Amino acid sequence: MPMAPALITGEFRRLLDDRFRISLPQELEEKLAVESGQCMLIKERVGCLGLWNAQMWQAKLEADVELVKSKLAAGKLHEKIGELQLLGRLLSTRDASVTLDDRRRLLVPDGFRQFLGVEPGSEVMVVGAGVSIEIWNPRAWLAYVRKRMPKFRKLLNHLSR
Protein backbone atom coordinates (compact mmCIF):
# COMPACT_ATOMS: atom_id res chain seq x y z
CA MET A 1 0.00 0.00 0.00
CA PRO A 2 1.32 3.44 -0.90
CA MET A 3 2.44 5.41 2.12
CA ALA A 4 0.89 8.83 2.26
CA PRO A 5 3.48 11.39 3.34
CA ALA A 6 2.54 12.95 6.64
CA LEU A 7 0.31 15.96 6.32
CA ILE A 8 2.31 18.93 7.50
CA THR A 9 0.38 20.86 10.14
CA GLY A 10 1.13 23.02 13.13
CA GLU A 11 1.14 26.70 14.04
CA PHE A 12 4.14 28.37 15.65
CA ARG A 13 5.12 31.87 16.65
CA ARG A 14 8.65 32.84 15.69
CA LEU A 15 10.90 35.87 15.82
CA LEU A 16 12.65 37.25 12.79
CA ASP A 17 16.14 37.98 14.10
CA ASP A 18 18.18 41.06 13.24
CA ARG A 19 19.73 39.19 10.33
CA PHE A 20 16.37 38.22 8.84
CA ARG A 21 16.61 34.64 9.97
CA ILE A 22 13.77 32.42 11.19
CA SER A 23 14.42 29.22 13.08
CA LEU A 24 11.92 26.65 11.87
CA PRO A 25 10.19 24.27 14.28
CA GLN A 26 11.85 20.90 13.87
CA GLU A 27 8.45 19.23 13.98
CA LEU A 28 7.62 20.92 10.68
CA GLU A 29 11.06 20.92 9.13
CA GLU A 30 11.59 17.19 9.44
CA LYS A 31 8.37 16.56 7.56
CA LEU A 32 9.67 18.44 4.53
CA ALA A 33 12.22 15.64 4.28
CA VAL A 34 15.04 17.80 3.03
CA GLU A 35 18.45 16.35 3.53
CA SER A 36 21.22 18.97 3.22
CA GLY A 37 18.70 21.73 3.96
CA GLN A 38 18.10 22.54 0.29
CA CYS A 39 14.60 23.84 -0.43
CA MET A 40 12.52 26.27 -2.43
CA LEU A 41 11.15 29.54 -1.13
CA ILE A 42 8.06 30.87 -2.91
CA LYS A 43 6.10 34.09 -2.80
CA GLU A 44 2.67 32.59 -2.20
CA ARG A 45 0.72 35.79 -1.63
CA VAL A 46 1.41 39.16 -0.06
CA GLY A 47 2.31 38.46 3.55
CA CYS A 48 2.98 34.78 2.95
CA LEU A 49 6.04 32.81 1.84
CA GLY A 50 5.99 29.10 1.09
CA LEU A 51 8.84 26.71 1.76
CA TRP A 52 8.85 23.56 -0.35
CA ASN A 53 10.74 20.37 -0.74
CA ALA A 54 12.69 21.06 -3.93
CA GLN A 55 11.59 17.88 -5.71
CA MET A 56 7.96 18.43 -4.87
CA TRP A 57 8.06 22.01 -6.04
CA GLN A 58 9.66 20.91 -9.27
CA ALA A 59 6.88 18.41 -9.86
CA LYS A 60 4.20 20.98 -9.18
CA LEU A 61 5.86 23.53 -11.42
CA GLU A 62 6.17 21.09 -14.28
CA ALA A 63 2.52 20.20 -13.95
CA ASP A 64 1.59 23.87 -14.17
CA VAL A 65 3.83 24.53 -17.15
CA GLU A 66 2.49 21.43 -18.84
CA LEU A 67 -1.00 22.79 -18.52
CA VAL A 68 -0.03 26.14 -20.03
CA LYS A 69 1.69 24.34 -22.89
CA SER A 70 -1.32 22.24 -23.66
CA LYS A 71 -3.52 25.31 -23.71
CA LEU A 72 -1.04 26.99 -26.02
CA ALA A 73 -1.13 24.02 -28.33
CA ALA A 74 -4.89 24.19 -28.35
CA GLY A 75 -4.66 27.80 -29.46
CA LYS A 76 -6.39 29.13 -26.43
CA LEU A 77 -3.70 31.62 -25.51
CA HIS A 78 -3.42 33.53 -28.78
CA GLU A 79 -4.98 36.65 -27.42
CA LYS A 80 -3.06 36.30 -24.23
CA ILE A 81 0.51 36.93 -25.29
CA GLY A 82 0.71 39.78 -22.82
CA GLU A 83 -0.37 37.53 -20.02
CA LEU A 84 2.22 34.97 -21.02
CA GLN A 85 4.88 37.64 -20.73
CA LEU A 86 3.57 38.54 -17.32
CA LEU A 87 3.68 34.88 -16.35
CA GLY A 88 7.29 34.70 -17.41
CA ARG A 89 8.21 37.73 -15.37
CA LEU A 90 6.42 36.46 -12.32
CA LEU A 91 8.07 33.08 -12.57
CA SER A 92 11.39 34.89 -12.55
CA THR A 93 10.95 36.53 -9.17
CA ARG A 94 8.57 34.09 -7.62
CA ASP A 95 10.91 31.54 -6.18
CA ALA A 96 14.41 31.24 -4.81
CA SER A 97 16.48 28.25 -3.82
CA VAL A 98 17.49 28.54 -0.19
CA THR A 99 19.58 26.50 2.22
CA LEU A 100 18.74 26.04 5.86
CA ASP A 101 21.69 26.20 8.22
CA ASP A 102 22.54 23.49 10.75
CA ARG A 103 20.10 24.92 13.25
CA ARG A 104 17.20 24.84 10.81
CA ARG A 105 17.32 28.58 10.29
CA LEU A 106 15.93 30.13 7.13
CA LEU A 107 17.51 33.31 5.86
CA VAL A 108 14.81 35.35 4.14
CA PRO A 109 16.38 36.74 0.93
CA ASP A 110 16.20 40.38 0.01
CA GLY A 111 13.21 40.61 -2.32
CA PHE A 112 11.16 38.39 -0.06
CA ARG A 113 11.40 40.65 2.97
CA GLN A 114 9.25 43.44 1.66
CA PHE A 115 6.85 40.88 0.26
CA LEU A 116 6.42 39.38 3.70
CA GLY A 117 6.14 42.85 5.13
CA VAL A 118 7.92 42.41 8.45
CA GLU A 119 10.75 44.20 10.23
CA PRO A 120 13.76 42.49 11.77
CA GLY A 121 12.96 41.72 15.39
CA SER A 122 9.25 41.33 14.76
CA GLU A 123 7.09 38.22 14.86
CA VAL A 124 6.03 35.86 12.12
CA MET A 125 3.80 32.82 12.13
CA VAL A 126 5.19 29.51 10.87
CA VAL A 127 2.34 27.34 9.64
CA GLY A 128 2.08 23.84 8.18
CA ALA A 129 0.24 23.95 4.86
CA GLY A 130 -0.24 20.24 4.18
CA VAL A 131 2.56 19.81 1.66
CA SER A 132 4.68 22.84 2.52
CA ILE A 133 5.70 25.15 5.34
CA GLU A 134 4.53 28.75 5.24
CA ILE A 135 5.89 31.93 6.80
CA TRP A 136 3.13 34.44 7.46
CA ASN A 137 2.91 38.05 8.41
CA PRO A 138 0.84 37.71 11.61
CA ARG A 139 -1.80 40.18 10.48
CA ALA A 140 -2.20 38.53 7.10
CA TRP A 141 -2.48 35.16 8.84
CA LEU A 142 -5.20 36.40 11.16
CA ALA A 143 -7.17 37.87 8.29
CA TYR A 144 -6.78 34.70 6.26
CA VAL A 145 -7.98 32.44 9.06
CA ARG A 146 -10.95 34.67 9.77
CA LYS A 147 -11.98 34.56 6.17
CA ARG A 148 -11.41 30.89 5.46
CA MET A 149 -12.22 29.08 8.68
CA PRO A 150 -16.01 29.27 8.22
CA LYS A 151 -15.69 27.03 5.19
CA PHE A 152 -13.59 24.44 6.99
CA ARG A 153 -16.40 21.93 7.41
CA LYS A 154 -17.40 22.18 3.82
CA LEU A 155 -13.84 21.70 2.64
CA LEU A 156 -13.30 18.68 4.85
CA ASN A 157 -16.52 17.11 3.67
CA HIS A 158 -15.59 17.85 0.11
CA LEU A 159 -12.20 16.22 0.39
CA SER A 160 -13.48 13.16 2.24
CA ARG A 161 -16.48 12.67 0.02
The residue ranges that bind its own copies (CB under 8 A) are: 2, 4, 7-11, 13, 60-69, 77-78, 81, 83-96, 110-111, 127-132, 134, 144-145, 148-149, 152, 155-156, 158-160
Task: Measure the CA–CA gap between 142 and 132, rounded to whole angstroms.
Answer: 19
Which residue, 34 or 134, has its beta carbon nearer to its own copies? 134
Which of 103, 146, 154, 161 forms a contact with DNA (CB under 7 A)?
Answer: 103
Q: How far is the CB of 12 from its own copies (least distance, A)?
A: 8
Contact 34, 53 (CB under 8 A): yes
Which residue type is seen at 149?
Answer: M
Task: Measure the CA–CA gap between 44 and 24, rounded to whole angstroms.
Answer: 18
- Considering only the stretches 75-83, 104-112, 128-136, 141-149, report the one whose residues sit in contact with DNA under the rule CB under 7 A: 104-112
Which residue, 22 or 39, has its beta carbon nearer to DNA? 22
Partner whose footprint covers residue 85, from DNA, its own copies, none (CB < 5 to 8 Å by kind): its own copies
Other beta carbons less than 10 A from residue 28's beta carbon? 22
Binding of DNA by 96 (CB under 7 A): no
Alpha carbon distances (Å) from 43 to 15, 103, 111, 134, 154: 19, 23, 10, 10, 27
